[in-house]
Structure 1
Amino acid sequence: MKKTNLIILLVVLVGGAAYLGYLSKIGTEAEAAVITVPSTLPDYTLNDINGKANSIHQLAGTKPTLFVYFNSTCHLCQDELAALSKRIKEFKDYNLIFTTVEPLEEMIGFVDGLGIKGESNVHFLLDSRMEVASFYKIRSVPSIFVYDAKKQLVAEYVGITEVDLLLEKLAG
């Protein structure tokens, strides 16, 4: 009986050690696959919701910029953009660039409903060829990138992000 218990214990210990080794190998491979966001705001030219071509760098100008990649059918994006819209006056010293891959017809009603389309520092761009999505390797929306006045990345977020945190990062 003692011999059987000893064999079972030995098998459990060896099996556990092998499993932990397997898990540590998975962690190493996952870390190697981490995607890093480029540290400078990209300068693509995209059409806005009125069909006009705009350079992202020109829209950002010399102000800190909040760059948000979104989809109007995503409930997280809807919540995030609604929260930003409610506090739009607090963003008066910053540029906000909202970009999506979806066709204009699918998102125009959403943009109109936000009530911020007429703000001079708010820009909605269409990434119809997925250039920006590829640049950032967008995997989830909303994807939010905060840049300083020199167009250098300050912070990046995926999912709903507190407006106060975004304002803090923009203020530097």
Structure 2
Amino acid sequence: MKHLPALIILCFLGATGFAQQDTVPPPAYTLYPLPQFSVLLPDSATWYTKKDLPKNKKTVVMVFSPDCEHCQHETELIRQHISGFKHSQLLMVTPLAFEKMRDFYEKYGLSQYKNITVGYDPKFFFTGYFKMKVFPFIAIYDKKYALLKTFEGSPPIEDLLKYVK
């Protein structure tokens, strides 16, 4: 009887040794560089691809919904701190209606920023690739398109600026 507590502890420790390891692999987007993509620009005629991204600049991909208040707020913050993004190219894409994307583009005056490209993703490529659950989803890539950081939801602007400098 006096060895029963020790036996119980020993059995418990032995059972935990046989517990399954976490077998969920990391998402593919964390393992590979920014893939090839194509999005339709607001002019409704031009397709923008990875080849069009400026060389030797970090890339910030923001997948957004034009109706999302968090996305609207994040866009306002980016506009207010645009000087902090001078060494980056921002690619803002939405899988939602082209017309809403164009209205969003015009409402926020995004055409005035040379380092912001807004596009429509009719194939839902980015939402599937990033396995998105919420808008906005932001992925920051280095100059060689290796992933640096992702954000689900609306991160503080200071967190974004830390990765784009």
User: Distance between the aligned counterparts of 1:33 and 1:139, measured in 2?
Assistant: 18
Aligned counterpart in structure 1 of residue 43 of structure 2, from 44, 50, 62: 50
Q: Deviations over 1:5-26 (max 9, x none)?
A: xxxxxxxxxxxxxxxxxxx99x
The change in CA–CA distance for 1:65 and 1:124 in structure 2 (over 3 A counts) is same
- Deviation for aligned residue 1:101: 0.4
User: Distance between the aligned counterparts of 1:93 and 1:32, measured in 2?
Assistant: 35
Aligned to 1:124: 118
User: Distance between the aligned counterparts of 1:168 and 1:67, measured in 2?
Assistant: 15
Residue identity matched to 1:96: L
- RMSD (CA atoms): 2.3
Structure with the higher fraction of residues in helix conformation = 1
Q: Deviations over 1:88-142 (max 9, x none)?
A: 1221221000010012212322221212222111100110111222122222110
Conserved in 1, the CA contact under 8 Å of 2:38 and 2:121? no
Residue identity matched to 1:116: L
Structure 1: unaligned runs, 5 residues or longer = 1-23
Aligned to 1:37: 29
Q: Residues 154-169 of structure 1 correspond to what in structure 2 (within 5 A)?
A: 154-169=148-163
SS at match of 1:161: coil
Return the TM-score normalized by structure 2: 0.78
Q: How many residues align?
A: 147
Specify the structure having the higher radius of gyration (Cα). 1
Aligned to 1:102: 96
SS at match of 1:81: helix
Conserved in 1, the CA contact under 8 Å of 2:93 and 2:120? yes
Q: Deviations over 1:48-96 (max 9, x none)?
A: 1112111134224320111100001111111111111111122122100
SS at match of 1:32: coil
User: Distance between the aligned counterparts of 1:104 and 1:44, measured in 2?
Assistant: 17
Conserved in 2, the CA contact under 8 Å of 1:88 and 1:116? no
Percent sequence identity is 21
Does residue 1:115 correspond to 2:140, yes or no? Answer: no
Conserved in 2, the CA contact under 8 Å of 1:41 and 1:57? no
Return the TM-score normalized by structure 1: 0.75
User: Distance between the aligned counterparts of 1:103 and 1:60, measured in 2?
Assistant: 27
Aligned to 1:3: none
Structure 2: unaligned runs, 5 residues or longer = 1-18
